[in-house]
A and B are shown apart, each in its own frame.
Chain A
Amino acid sequence: MTMKHTISVLVNNRPGVLARAAGLFARRGFNIDSLAVSTTNDPDTSRMTIVVDGPDQVLEQISKQLYKLMDVIKVLDHQDEPVVTRELALVKVRADANSRAEIMQTVSIFRANIVDISETTFTVEVTGGAEKIDALINLLSKHGIKEMMRTGRIVLSRGPRTA
């Protein structure tokens, strides 16, 4: 069965680790939908959140192959557990005298922020789940999106459980 998987990978914070991990996906022809990497509370450890589409069995194999990398400490596929997930997007949208009020209202409803402003544009910052961000982008697009960037998804398990 094919499904979107969100995989957390705890790794040694060292050069080359990302390339090793990414190579396992590339070799099997998988496009990584989104990727976020940062150091954790332990400066020697980084955490990757990888979102990828693929058959369950192949992803199980990739997870096991990830585990085999010397720099990988832990792999967690968040398939069957409740999680908190967030993404962040910056959207530069055309904003003229006629549309400014409407955009500000929309942004407010989404609890997003306008973080930069110019004669002709707003830059909107929004965080949340993928659906929320999709919805806001959809509403803003009629005004004309000039540029935008979304981060990769980041995920933590709900409750006291840690990876």
Chain B
Amino acid sequence: MQMTGAEALLEAMRREGVEVIFGYPGGALLPVYDVLYDTTDIRHILVRHEQGAAHAADGYARASGKVGVCMATSGPGGTNLVTGIATAYMDSIPIVAITGQVPTFAVGKDAFQEADITGITMPITKHNYLITDANELPRIVKEAFHIARTGRPGPVLIDLPRDVQQASIEFEYPEKVQLRGYRPVTTGHARMIERAAEMIDAAERPVIYGGGGITASDAQAELVALAERADIPVTMTLMGKGGFPDDHELSLGMPGMHGTAYANYALHEADLIIALGTRFDDRVTGKLDMFARRAKVIHVDVDPAEIGKNVRPALPIVGDVKQVVGELAKRVKENRHPKWRERIAEWKRQYPLTWKGDGLKPQFVIQEIWKATEGRAVIVTEVGQNQMWAAQFYPCRETRQFLSSGGLGTMGYGLPAAIGAQVARPDRSVWDIAGDGSIQMNIQELASAVAAKLPVKVAILNNGYLGMVRQWQTLFFQDRISHTDISDVTPDFVKLAEAYGAVGLRVTEKSEVTRAIERAMEIDDRPCMIDFHVARDENVMPMVPAGGTVDDMLVE
């Protein structure tokens, strides 16, 4: 069929099952937006800043398991996507970003709104393309979606010059992708799996340490089966949260810097660590050569480059986590570790995850949101203290229920990602747990949510500080509060919400918390932002200082 490049782009997306595009138009994308004018089967959510588009596509992808799509014009449109693309790259989230580009004859001539976006995004995309021949467009779009969602998922960018959008082509969508440089291994080596099962059977103090790979490969059922059969306690990273039910008796919660004391002690004393779809991030390991010194490590990951990057495993298995864990669950012996379980139970009694004091505490707010939503909300976070408290005090039972910028740690992620999540999950209550610092980084996206009638809830844990940095200054820089007190100018968040056409609520007393949350839950046609004036000087505990060990852990 004869069509323009712009029509071919939309048709290719249709073939890939795209339901929604988060975008912002501009000169170099006019032909595509002209096609969108008549498009009814693909929804377009207009953001108010391109960074919001990238995060919304990311939030959509995390909440749905599908590929998220964002779109921006050339030059500043593309550069505004960069933080969102880097966020998705660090957390292995499948998104396809489309950027307009100046016409091919003008590329490289510093034309108006020209930026070398393929050059800029080279180190933060799984792959990227500059299309110079419209005939290649269908194949490239097909490849882009394939690359984004397979193997270790990640963002792919397609840069589309304006004349390519206008060129006429014969549209033929390829059935298969042929990429000779890309053949991700999905099936783990049978002999290695056999050996892993033997190691698990022989272990006395095993711990499973699971990450985002559990979510990416949808391996929760297999993981639960393995843990229960072999009686192995499980700690899930921030990226893996929900991949093993937080309320399961074998759950240790999160490991690492702000993980539970018992998860960290268990890793420290384990004789076998089964690392599944995770990458031994410094926020988990602390001082690397002191990490889990008594343990042999089995490392399962779909990305061979992760194996041996930070920790040399005794047994590496390259493969899809779901497949490998499924095999392991069948092969391990039924087992019980009563002594090990009792040791962990003792740590749980001794160092429970809790907080002190009775005022309007941020932890209390999150716990009340958990109660009101019956633990079923999709929780999106910003970055900082709000993020860690959300991870600690909102137990999750499902994958794709807790969305957070783990690797890049992007402040301003939460609100636009919540918009994407709400589009993906209209059936669920979606909450952005925010700080008063983070929320101001993409506050303009309130307008997008209002325009799209999305009932996202924003809970601002307002302490007048860039709280996590303030915490570090307090603990490690002699309380020299350098440029982290932002209480001198805090916008009136209630008025701000109202100015955007959203609902704003303010809570200053503990007794008002539950009522405000319930009020927010009643609103179903627009966003609601609650400004919780929480205790200012609360610290996130426990804490293993950066580069420290469990012996350095602060518990209160």
Contact = CB atoms under 8 A, between A and B. Distances in A.
Number of contact residues on B: which range applies? 10 to 19
Interface string B121-155: 01100110010000000000000000100000000
A77 interface: no
Contacts of B181: 11-12, 69-73
A129 interface: no
A19 interface: yes
B473 to A, nearest CB: 30
Contacts of B119: 19
B176 interface: no
Interface stretch (A60-68, A107-115, A116-124, A145-153): A60-68
Interface string B273-313: 00000000000000000000000000000011100110000
Nearest to A11: B181
A19 B123 CA distance: 10
B105 interface: no
Nearest to A64: B305
A142 interface: no
B303 A68 contact: yes
Interface in B139-195: 147, 179-182
Interface in A8-27: 11-12, 16, 19-20, 23, 27
A70 B180 CA distance: 8
A68 B147 CA distance: 11
A67 B305 contact: yes
A76 to B, nearest CB: 14
A94 to B, nearest CB: 41
Contacts of B130: 16
19 contacts: A11-B181, A16-B118, A16-B130, A19-B119, A19-B122, A20-B122, A23-B123, A60-B308, A61-B308, A64-B304, A64-B305, A65-B305, A67-B304, A68-B305, A70-B126, A70-B127, A70-B179, A73-B180, A73-B181
Main secondary structure of the interface of A (DSSP, over half): helix
A61 B147 contact: no
B420 to A, nearest CB: 26
B372 to A, nearest CB: 44
Interface in B258-278: none
B214 to A, nearest CB: 21
Nearest to B312: A57
Greatest chain B CB density within 10 A among A16, A69, A70 is at A70
Given A11-B181, A12-B181, A64-B304, A70 B147 contact: yes
Contacts of B308: 57, 60-61
B309 A61 contact: yes
Contacts of A73: 180-181
A67 B118 CA distance: 19
Interface in A28-62: 57, 60-61
B122 A61 contact: no
B122 A23 contact: yes
Interface string A56-100: 010011001101111111000000000000000000000000000
B305 A27 contact: no
Contacts of B127: 69-70
Contacts of B179: 70
Contacts of A19: 119, 122
B288 to A, nearest CB: 13
A138 B305 CA distance: 42
Nearest to A44: B180
Contacts of B126: 68, 70
A71 B123 CA distance: 14
A15 B65 CA distance: 32
Contacts of A57: 308
Contacts of B180: 12, 73
Contacts of A60: 308
A11 B181 CA distance: 8
A61 B180 CA distance: 21
Given A70-B126, A70-B147, 18 more contacts: A12-B180, A16-B122, A16-B130, A19-B119, A19-B122, A61-B308, A64-B305, A65-B305, A67-B305, A68-B126, A68-B303, A68-B305, A69-B181, A70-B127, A70-B181, A71-B181, A73-B180, A73-B181
A65 B303 CA distance: 10
A93 B127 CA distance: 47
A27 B118 contact: no
Contacts of B309: 61, 64
Contacts of B123: 23, 27
A112 to B, nearest CB: 39
B111 to A, nearest CB: 19
Contacts of A64: 304-305, 309
A97 to B, nearest CB: 51
A72 B130 CA distance: 18
A8 to B, nearest CB: 15
A128 B122 CA distance: 36
Contacts of A11: 181
Interface in B107-123: 118-119, 122-123
Contacts of A27: 123
A19 to B, nearest CB: 7
A55 to B, nearest CB: 13
B273 to A, nearest CB: 20
Greatest chain A CB density within 10 A among B181, B182, B304 is at B181
A62 to B, nearest CB: 9
A16 B121 CA distance: 12
A16 B147 CA distance: 18
A117 to B, nearest CB: 41
Contacts of B122: 16, 19-20, 23
Nearest to B154: A68
